[in-house]
Structure 1
């Protein structure tokens, strides 16, 4: 006879104490559990443990640095995420650099953006908004790129709060207000 015991209590009794009796015709549902994988995706050529991510919060921005511990190669970006009331990302942008060190912003919208649309960045005191063409969309995000030129450097130094908007596939326009305050401080911390 097989005896199953949980902390000195037969398993069936422990189940009844934890979950209560089952109704007639109801069977115990087994939930599937799994170990949640890391949010950090390790490059294929590295083993787990050979890669690390450092996250530092700043005002309105988060500095994220990923480092290959074997080659001591580090890649950083500074990111701001704007979400709606239920936690869905409406817009995010990251200040990054090309391999040659040229700064640019990676702009991301919700996947409902029109893939042939543009992201509009309206800065206070400027008549015309900056229009950023979307480079493409997936089922999770749409992406556009904005090189950092003199005008954007000026806006970053002024810590402005641009109005950002983009059209959606169902004819709406999503509009949010971003904030460049804290970006310069986060960038200085990379060094």
Structure 2
């Protein structure tokens, strides 16, 4: 037993351990490589899926924006149509008032005066004319105020001017405002008829 040589056995055992070590290192490196590659592929797949989702969302958002713009155009068109309808309704409801306005202006006009111009802005009517006396202008204003279609007459300017050379008649230039009372189109003529008759009777006096 004292002469047994263990060197060769120890050498073989050392070589075997080296092989096992390198084998483990290779397997570990291979597993690490596979894990890193798998993680990399997973990240690439996740990124690709997210990009597809983002693209889908961008497409849907673009479609919604287009629909919103179309809805806004429809709302604009709808509002324009409603405005036109309102204008037409207003014209239809106030159409009789225009006729009554001119009727009242003429019927309430007393003798000895006449109108030169008539201008209307909204419900405000501006009148210019000539009269033989202040009393006739005052009478005209009273008749306008008595009308169911007019109110709040207001005298702005009145001045005296000789109509022509060597003429005995001095005419008064006057400017006055009066407010038109707007009534609905379903008002009957019966409301204005008594006032017309009264104005005609007054105009004949």
TM-score w.r.t. length of structure 2:
0.25
Structure scoring higher RCO (CA < 8 A, sep ≥ 6) equals 2
Structure with the higher helix share, 1 or 2: 2
Structure with the higher strand share, 1 or 2: 1
Which one has a bigger Cα radius of gyration? 2
